[in-house]
Structure 1
Amino acid sequence: MAGRKRYAAVAVAAAALITAPTAAYGVSPAGPASAARPAHGAAVPAHARVLQVAKTAPTARIVAPDEHVTEPGGAEFWLTPEGKHWTTPDNPYPQFTNVVNGNIDLHTPGVSAFVEGTAQGHVTLSGVYYGGTGTASRVTVRTTAGTLHAKLLELAGNPGWGVWYVSTDLPAADQDYAVRHVVVRDTTGAVYSRLDLN
């Protein structure tokens, strides 16, 4: 009987450990071990949460100058120090957005947006983001077809700008009004830059 009681006590203790909530904590090399852990259930400091988010958040794909990236719908993008270059299936002639000629203020947060569609209703949306604080991480594009999540491209060396792109199917009648909002967020979730159209 004593053996059963001891077994039951161990089982209860193990269950309590498994179901107990966890908390992140850090250890200060100079402080005592008892000061390293917050009280049970204590909140993790805000700066620790921000660092954790920044550590796991995605960032732009870093590309070499003139490295071509093909979007699933067939559009191609490549970056040079001068700006964004691209082609689409319906327009194979290269297009260009210059980021160094003074038309874009790289010190002020901003986003551009281009919508290019095919007769079949496939739309490529893209643009340049620039001037924000922090590291660009995610781009959300609200359109007449719903909310899309774009991919990001940047050159190495923190040039202060990058390119976003995404594609979707959209009725031809809606293509002129496709983009409602473009919001670029940094690795902490804060707004890096945004564009509001409709």
Structure 2
Amino acid sequence: MPPTHDVLPAGHDFTAYARTHWSRLVVTARLLTDDPGAAEELARRTLVRMCARWRLVPRNDVDFHVRRCLVRGHLRRLRGRRAARRRAVLVLRVWEGLAEAEIAQLLGCSAGAVRAHARQGLKAAGADAGRLREEYARAVEDLVPSEVPLADVQARGRVRRRRRIAVTAAVCAALLTPVAVLADRQLRGGGSGEEVSGAGAPAETSPVRVVAPGERVTAGPGVRVWLTADGGHWSVPVALAGDDGDRPRGEPGVSLRVDSVKGGFFLSGLFHGLSGEPGRVEVRTGDGETTAKVLVLAGSPGWGIWYASAPVSQKDVKSVLSAEGNERVVTLYDAAGKVAARSAREWWRI
């Protein structure tokens, strides 16, 4: 039978949680990987990651965060992601008994994508949910997990936590240095520079703007962005971190990049995988959330560039960088107002 959801041990203690849930993690990892040798290694890596950030895990939602870490850790290591995501959806739906909405939150996709993966996965397996559950039960029937390698997990978790803290501090320092340099140049050069485009133009009722291929748009101080058939392009004062702008393909997704500009930091990124124009893109920094501006290419509305309408302060960028990876900064909504994708935020994390 599929595993039941265990009660969180008192005191939110990592040691107790690891010992209680180790067997369940190994069983789920076995079904995800279809490899007995890889299952325990995946479960061990998951506990190491969770140990490193255990103090930040919500006490009433531990199982969700651990399960998400397990599944995403597995998917990140695979290149053939589509088949792996189908299998992950089936394991979560058929074996773990999760609802479509829960799986969508766990994988960072829409409920419609979950239904599509489940339907395609069952078709490829040539079985219905009942038969597949029986196959899963037979696959793990003789599985006997070893003892949880608790000492190794905790030692590696402490190392990982120290590395995360060091990386966050280093990235913040790298972000703040260009600002001081740019400010000094502005003062020495009389403060000249480009302002946000659109001054004096009528206010747009929609954040979405359709542009021609190669049309330059001034998006921020010293920042120009444009779209061509092969992808998005940026011209920025100081490039810090982000994607390479190649045209994305496949299922819905949205990325995040950070660039240093006059007055703070410029947040932007690519989105893709929609069947039409997006409804909006919401960006969360600090204590608030704002609606980003969106550029889509004429004749190809399912992907494009989003960007924050104003530079983000140093304080808010620090909060972005110091937040846990499970805290999403960017949310992409489709034309119907439903969540299509959230930013993966894997570009700076270890």
TM-score under structure 2 length normalisation: 0.34
Amino acid of the residue matched to residue 63 of structure 1? V
Q: 1:162 aligns with which of 287, 294, 304?
A: 304
Indicate the RMSD between aligned Cα atoms, in angstroms: 2.9
Deviations 1:10-57 (A, max 9, x none): xxxxxxxxxxxxxxxxxxxxxxxxxxxxxxxxxxxxxxxxxxxxxxx8
Q: Counterpart in 2 of 1:177?
A: 321
Amino acid of the residue matched to residue 212 of structure 2? A
SS at match of 1:97: coil
Q: Counterpart in 1 of 2:265?
A: 123
Amino acid of the residue matched to residue 74 of structure 1? G
Amino acid of the residue matched to residue 187 of structure 1? A
Higher strand share: 1
What stretches of structure 1 move > 3 A for 4+ residues in a row? none
Amino acid of the residue matched to residue 174 of structure 1? K
Kept in 1, the 8 Å contact 2:259–2:265? The answer is: yes
**Does 2:254 align with 1:111?**
yes
Q: Distance in 1 between matches of 2:267 and 2:304?
A: 14
How many pairs were matched up?
133
Q: Distance in 1 between matches of 2:322 and 2:221?
A: 17
Deviations 1:105-146 (A, max 9, x none): x2211111101124x651111111001344302110112363
Q: 2:217 aligns with which of 63, 69, 78?
A: 69
Q: Distance in 1 between matches of 2:207 and 2:311?
A: 22
Q: Distance in 2 between matches of 1:175 and 1:75?
A: 23
Q: Counterpart in 2 of 1:193?
A: 341
Amino acid of the residue matched to residue 114 of structure 1? R
**Does 2:87 align with 1:87?**
no
Seen in structure 2, the aligned counterparts of structure 1 residues 124 and 169 have a Cα distance that, compared at 3 Å, is same
Q: Counterpart in 2 of 1:153?
A: 295
Deviations 1:125-168 (A, max 9, x none): 11110013443021101123632221000111125311101132
Kept in 1, the 8 Å contact 2:277–2:296? The answer is: no
Amino acid of the residue matched to residue 298 of structure 2? A
SS at match of 1:84: strand
Seen in structure 2, the aligned counterparts of structure 1 residues 130 and 178 have a Cα distance that, compared at 3 Å, is farther
SS at match of 2:311: strand
Shift of 1:189: 1.0
Q: Distance in 1 between matches of 2:259 and 2:319?
A: 8
Kept in 1, the 8 Å contact 2:277–2:302? The answer is: no
**Does 2:139 align with 1:139?**
no
SS at match of 2:300: coil
Percent of aligned pairs with the same amino acid: 38
Shift of 1:171: 1.6
Higher helix share: 2
Amino acid of the residue matched to residue 116 of structure 1? D
- Of residues 179-188 and 156-165 in structure 1, the stretch that sits farther from structure 2 once superposed is 179-188
Kept in 2, the 8 Å contact 1:152–1:165? The answer is: yes
Seen in structure 2, the aligned counterparts of structure 1 residues 66 and 133 have a Cα distance that, compared at 3 Å, is closer
Query: Structure 1 unaligned runs (5+)?
Result: 1-56
Q: Within 5 Å, which residues of 2 pair with 1:17-32? A: none
Kept in 2, the 8 Å contact 1:69–1:76? The answer is: yes
